[in-house]
Amino acid sequence: MIEIKDLKASVEEKEILKGLNLNIGPGEVHAIMGPNGAGKSTLGNVLAGREGYEVTGGSATLNGKDILDLDPEERAREGLFLAFQYPVEIPGVSNLEFLKASVDAVREQQGKPALDSVQFLKLAREKCKAVNLDQSFLKRGVNEGFSGGEKKRNELMQMMLLEPSLCILDETDSGLDIDALQVVAEGVNAMRDENRSFIVVTHYQRLLDYIVPDYVHVLANGRIVKSGGKELALELEEKGYGWLENGNENGA
């Protein structure tokens, strides 16, 4: 469903992704690990179409469609969702309004009518429950005064409401205590299904005890340098990344 071929991308004239190859089938969960500064977040940002990232080569197709020329809203319409690394605070805009606006925007792009407010409130309350957030969070300003764990659970709720087909989770675990991590992992696991794929970027093997991936890849120096099953995460925890850093020139 997502096919990334020889992807090259730069930030401020500096090449960060240097020919990255990755294929993800429907329903699969792929974990991406790798040293700091390797380009993991850059990959998510490039796929989501975030500003400031210049694609200089290669392709990325989602369900057969090249997404690299689309603007971020169009990518969301195609079912892509990037979560977790930079939760924005929007004081003065209630979380409920924000969530509804984001769902309506995607529905509009997809040619579907907006949900009516009563319907949406009911849905949002259900999702609040599912991620273990009090319903009062719907009335508060977006992320305003939320703890790290609350921001992530809120974003998970947004993801549940949007029902994307490709979810990219960047450092889902950073700043989470074990209870919050379990809530987020349970939410992700509940969303796993045969038509939805996940890219889970993490520094720590620990998360992968809760979100068990089908494949683990090491991204080092702008390329995938090793791929394996979930046991690769354990090996990395034991050995670190040093033995891989120079990578193989062919990627994976």
Q: With contact defined as beta carbons under 8 Å apart, do 220 and 52 qualify?
A: no
Q: Work out whether the CA dihedral 53, 224, 173, 14 comes out positive or negative.
A: negative
Figure out which of the listed residues 38, 156, 188, 233 binds ligand ADP, where binding follows CB under 6 A. Answer: 38
136 binds, among ligand ADP, Mg ion, none (CB under 5 to 8 A by kind): none
Quick one: angle between helices 148-162 and 178-191, nearest 10? 10
User: If you search the block for the tokens 């009335």, which residue do you land on?
Assistant: 139
Which string of x and - marks every residue 23-42 that binds Mg ion (by CB under 5 A)?
Answer: -------------x---xx-
Instruction: Please state the closest distance from residue 170 (CB atom) to ligand ADP, in A.
Output: 7
Which residue's CB is nearer to ligand ADP, number 20 or number 166? 20
Find how far residue 127's CA is from the centre of its chain.
18
Task: Report in angstroms how near the CB of residue 113 gets to Mg ion at its nearest.
Answer: 37
Minimal CB distance residue for Mg ion? 41
**Segment 41-70, which members bind Mg ion (CB under 5 A)?**
41
Residue 37 binds to ligand ADP (criterion: CB under 6 A): yes
Residue 36, interface with ligand ADP (CB under 6 A)? Answer: yes
Exactly one of 8, 18, 30, 40 binds ligand ADP (CB under 6 A); that residue is 40
CB 188 within 8 Å of CB 211: yes
Window 49-108: residues binding ligand ADP (CB under 6 A)? 52
Binding-site residue total for ligand ADP (CB under 6 A)? 12
Q: Which of 1, 30, 42, 198 binds ligand ADP (CB under 6 A)?
A: 42
Alpha-carbon distance values, 239 to 27, 71, 197, 233, 234 (Å) = 30, 40, 28, 10, 9
Output 40 or 223, the one with its CB closest to Mg ion: 40
Would you give the DSSP letter of residue 53? E
Q: Which residues pair with 169 in a beta bridge?
A: 83, 200
Q: Give me the DSSP letters along 190-237.
A: HH-BTTBEEEEE-S-TTHHHHS--SEEEEEETTEEEEEE-THHHHHHH
Q: Which is nearer to ligand ADP, 13 or 249 (CB)?
A: 13
Task: Write out the residues near Mg ion by the rule CB under 5 A.
Answer: 36, 40-41
Task: Write out the residues near ligand ADP by the rule CB under 6 A.
Answer: 11-12, 16, 34, 36-42, 52
